[in-house]
Amino acid sequence: MKTLVFASNNAHKLEEIRAILSGCFDVKSLKDIGCEVDIPETGFTFRENALQKATYVKEHFGLDCFADDSGLQVEALGGEPGVFSARYATKCGYPVEGNRDDANMNVLLEKLAGETNRKAKFSTCVALIYEGETYFFEGEVKGKIIDEKRGDGGFGYDPIFVPEGHDKTFAELGNEVKNGMSHRARAVAKLAAFLKN
């Protein structure tokens, strides 16, 4: 079986991708290959960041690899928070005490106060370096930002994001429904289809 590194230590993402690729690929995490560094993500697009992570592994460990990068883009904010999704409050100059996701959502809701265009989308880009070639797989889910947090599930901006065709937030819909339609699931499905063929 071929070995493929997933440039992540996120247990949930690893479990999901291992299940999809079981029998075809031995998927290793960064920890599994002894990569202890926090790989820099200094790009201005999801694609640049995903490629940066995959390239780091290829160059330092000589192994074929894929990496993902995701985030939320809000139309009325010119695509923010984008690649700064994980650290949006800090980037906007707010001190973050306690829950980082809460702080990020509070800043976003404040910036959107009084704004009628609530359109937003989550996007994921997966970069794959495989047998000397580079490939990209993208997934997105469109929706809107509501003006209050609803629901306990998920993570990140899930409590304020309602996907198109639904009236509940990702946090209210629960992981099973979300994972069937999420940006990440869509990108990973394309990656898996490619690797299995």
Active site residues: 69
- Asked if residue 105 lies in contact with residue 46, where contact means CB atoms within 8 angstroms, the answer is no
Binders of ligand IMP in range 69-88 (CB under 6 A): 69-72, 85-86
Among 157, 172, 188, 191, binds ligand IMP (CB under 6 A): 157
Taking CB under 6 A as the rule, does residue 109 contact ligand IMP?
A: no
Stretch that binds ligand IMP, among 32-40, 63-71, 110-118, 189-197 (CB under 6 A): 63-71
* Distance from chain centroid for Cα 119: 18
Instruction: Enumerate long-range contacts of 15-24, CB under 8 Å, 24 or more apart.
Output: 16/179, 16/188, 17/188, 17/192, 20/188, 20/192, 21/192, 21/195, 21/196, 24/195, 24/196
Among 64, 80, 140, 158, binds ligand IMP (CB under 6 A): 158
Q: How many helices (H) and strands (E) does the chain have?
A: 7, 6
Among 152, 155, 180, 194, binds ligand IMP (CB under 6 A): 155
17: phi then psi, degrees, rounded to nearest 5: -75, -35
Among residues 98 and 132, whose Cβ is nearest to ligand IMP?
98
Among residues 23 and 37, whose Cβ is nearest to ligand IMP?
37
Among residues 29 and 85, whose Cβ is nearest to ligand IMP?
85
